[in-house]
């Protein structure tokens, strides 16, 4: 399974309906009960978000714990960007960051993404689940 940036950020965040299921899921990943991968763009999103809200030290902790919990952090390569472009051309409501994740997933053969982001729902070959459906 591929893990999107919103899952570790909800797990580490303030009180929210998604906090507890995200935290349970991330704990299962850290304990290797769930095989999970991600990509370098997710790590960048974590750093970007926490820097934007002026909480970089929290971002560093989330970054480190997320990176260590993943089985693999996949790189983004030029072919992924070409696939990202194709996805953006085919799907009007998909954002570039999400298209990059979908492109990486296609390249490495991962079909399932754990995310609260519904933009993934319409992308062919990608199945989105929420953390509470997994943990």
CB of 113 within 8 A of CB of 120? yes
In whole angstroms, give the CA distance from residue 52 to residue 104: 25
pLDDT value, residue 34: 96
Provide the mean pLDDT of the chain: 97
Q: Name the 3-class secondary structure at 49.
A: helix
pLDDT value, residue 135: 64
If we measure between CA atoms, which residue out of 28, 9, 32 comes closest to residue 19? 9
| 91-113 pLDDT per residue, tens | 999 999 999 999 999 999 999 99
pLDDT band at 128 (very low <50, low <70, confident <90, very high): very high
In whole angstroms, give the CA distance from residue 54 to residue 36: 29
Backbone φ, ψ for residue 127 (5° rounding):
-115, 125
List domains and CATH numbers for the chain: 2-134 (3.40.50.1010)
| 26-39 pLDDT per residue, tens | 999 999 999 999 99
């Amino acid at each position: 399974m591929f893990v999107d940036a919103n899952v570790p950020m909800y797990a580490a965040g303030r009180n929210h309906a998604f906090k507890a299921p995200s935290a349970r899921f991330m704990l299962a990943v850290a304990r290797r009960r769930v095989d999970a991968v991600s990509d370098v763009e997710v790590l960048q999103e974590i750093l970007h978000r926490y820097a934007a809200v002026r909480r970089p030290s929290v971002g560093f902790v989330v970054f480190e714990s997320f990176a260590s919990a993943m089985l693999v952090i996949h790189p983004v390569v030029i072919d992924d960007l070409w696939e990202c472009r194709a996805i953006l051309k085919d799907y009007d409501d998909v954002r570039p960051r999400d298209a990059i994740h979908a492109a990486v997933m296609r390249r490495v053969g991962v079909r399932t993404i754990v995310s609260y982001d519904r933009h993934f729902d319409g992308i062919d070959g990608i199945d989105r689940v929420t953390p509470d459906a997994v943990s």
